[in-house]
């Protein structure tokens, strides 16, 4: 059985650390692992299985002899190094938004569109965390009845903004509970000018604003969903619109997803049944017993949790669902490692000439 030299780029970040543990827990045969990060993090020691691995500073030559790169360093670093990795023959699965919308880059959710991996040119993109859990939850419904429209509102955990933002929110919470003024230097997003406290607050801004008033996060949910479902016969005219809100939760995005099916014969029971039978989805939908998805329960799990499925009483074919998943695992590290598994299964760990 072939064994792989695997590099983890951005190994010290919130997602990077989960990439290490997800890879360790997978059955992917690892010949050698390289942990790559910025100069600042070089020299740190991290564990892979029982080995202690020293984090190295990333350079183009870090990728010599690497088969597979699992990448989560932020867009600018991905943009700089992944083409270098591909040049050296490494196949890259990237968590950043740097390549997602490029035409020759497959945007993959295993179980949904991993068939599209066969067309890769060296870089495969992991969708945005909020897109992954929504599309994963909707896909069995989409496949069976078609979906004409999606209106989603997100309740996104702070860990999606990175480790520094996460720490900042916890510090703000402590200050707030001690009746002190909370400071904000990062949230809602480090790359914008103004900063606000998130603890005990809601920030309707994730990423920066586009000219049309949508945030880039909302733009991602809309356009990534269309790209992921594009090759599917049912996707010709799927409409998607979104509002993304950051909430004071550590791990686990929530989403209220309102969707309209094309084939109006769908019922709540049918939809529940489809979800139950889909690997990776867990139905938690028993209102009479107060069973519904919650971030505190979903955190630490790889699955997508779905509940509160209800028909809109006044619009035939329109339904609500409440979707929760661990944004660092389901929305990032687990999806990336699942893509790697698909690449290995399909003999695609090679950069096409």
Per CB under 8 A, residues contacting a copy of itself are: 149, 151, 153, 155, 170, 173-174, 177, 188, 192-194, 196-197, 200-205, 209, 212-215, 222, 239-241, 243, 245, 247-250, 252, 254, 256, 258, 268, 287-290, 292-296, 307-310, 312-315, 318, 320, 322, 324
The β-bridge partners of 92 are 69, 123
Q: Which residue, 122 or 254, has its beta carbon nearer to a copy of itself?
A: 254
What HEC string does 209-251 produce? ECCCCCEHHHHHHHHHHHHHHCCCHHHCCCEEEEEEEECCCCC
Q: Which residue, 83 or 209, has its beta carbon nearer to a copy of itself?
A: 209
Q: Which residue, 233 or 313, has its beta carbon nearer to a copy of itself?
A: 313
CB of 191 vs a copy of itself, minimal distance in Å: 12
Q: Which residue, 47 or 226, has its beta carbon nearer to a copy of itself?
A: 226
Checking DSSP bridges between strand 147-156 and strand 239-246, what pairing results, if any?
Answer: parallel
CB of 131 vs a copy of itself, minimal distance in Å: 17
Contact criterion met (CB below 8 Å) for 14 and 166: yes
Q: Which residue, 128 or 205, has its beta carbon nearer to a copy of itself?
A: 205
Dist. CA 138–CA 152, nearest whole Å: 12
Q: Which of 92, 129, 244, 342 is catalytic?
A: 129
Question: 3-class DSSP state for residue 256?
Answer: strand
CB of 308 vs a copy of itself, minimal distance in Å: 5
Q: Which of 120, 216, 244, 253 is catalytic?
A: 253
CA atoms within 13 A on the CB side of 62: 25
Concerning whether 244 is annotated as a catalytic residue, the answer is no
* The Cα angle at residue 347 between residues 344 and 350, in degrees rounded to 5: 95
* The Cα angle at residue 129 between residues 349 and 248, in degrees rounded to 5: 150
DSSP string, 36-67: EE-GGGTT-EEEETTEEEE-EE--GGGGTT-S
CB of 178 vs a copy of itself, minimal distance in Å: 10
CB of 173 vs a copy of itself, minimal distance in Å: 6
CB of 261 vs a copy of itself, minimal distance in Å: 15
Question: 3-class DSSP state for residue 280?
Answer: coil
Q: Which residue, 326 or 338, has its beta carbon nearer to a copy of itself?
A: 326
DSSP string, 124-193: EEPPPHHHHHHHHHHHHHHHHH-EEEEEEEEEE-GGGG-HHHHHHHHHHHHHHHTT-PPP-SSSS-TTSS
Concerning whether 253 is annotated as a catalytic residue, the answer is yes
Tokens of 312: 């809109």
Dist. CA 275–CA 284, nearest whole Å: 10
Return the active site residues.
Answer: 129, 253
């Amino acid at each position: 059985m072939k064994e792989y030299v695997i590099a983890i780029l951005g190994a010290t970040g919130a997602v990077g650390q989960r990439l290490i543990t997800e890879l360790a827990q997978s059955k992917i045969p690892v010949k050698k692992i390289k942990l790559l990060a910025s100069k600042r993090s070089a020299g740190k020691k991290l564990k892979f299985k029982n080995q202690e691995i020293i984090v190295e500073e990333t350079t183009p030559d870090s990728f010599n002899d690497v088969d597979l790169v699992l990448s989560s360093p932020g867009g600018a670093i991905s943009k700089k190094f992944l083409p270098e990795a591909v040049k050296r023959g490494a196949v890259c699965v990237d968590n950043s938004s740097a390549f997602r919308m490029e035409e020759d880059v497959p945007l993959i959710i295993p179980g949904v569109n991993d068939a599209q991996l066969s067309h890769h040119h060296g870089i495969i993109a992991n969708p945005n965390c909020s897109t992954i859990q929504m599309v994963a939850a909707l896909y069995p419904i989409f496949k069976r009845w078609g979906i004409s429209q999606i209106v989603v509102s997100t309740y996104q955990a702070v860990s999606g903004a990175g480790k520094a933002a996460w720490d900042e929110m916890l510090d703000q919470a402590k200050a707030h509970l001690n009746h002190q003024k909370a400071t904000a230097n990062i949230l809602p997003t480090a790359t914008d000018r103004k900063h606000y406290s998130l603890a005990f607050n809601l920030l309707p801004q994730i990423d920066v604003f586009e000219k049309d008033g949508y945030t880039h996060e909302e733009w991602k949910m809309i356009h990534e969903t269309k790209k992921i479902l594009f090759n599917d016969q049912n996707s010709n005219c799927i409409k998607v619109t979104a509002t993304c809100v950051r909430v004071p939760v550590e791990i686990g995005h929530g989403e209220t997803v309102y969707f309209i099916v094309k084939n109006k014969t769908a019922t709540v029971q049918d939809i529940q049944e489809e979800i139950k039978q889909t690997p990776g989805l867990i139905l938690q939908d028993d209102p009479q017993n107060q069973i519904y998805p919650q971030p505190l329960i979903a955190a630490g799990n790889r699955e997508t949790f779905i509940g509160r499925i209800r028909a809109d009483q006044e619009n035939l074919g329109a339904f609500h669902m409440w979707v929760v998943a661990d944004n660092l695992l389901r929305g990032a590290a687990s999806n990336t490692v699942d893509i790697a598994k698909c690449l290995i299964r399909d003999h695609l760990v090679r950069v096409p000439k």
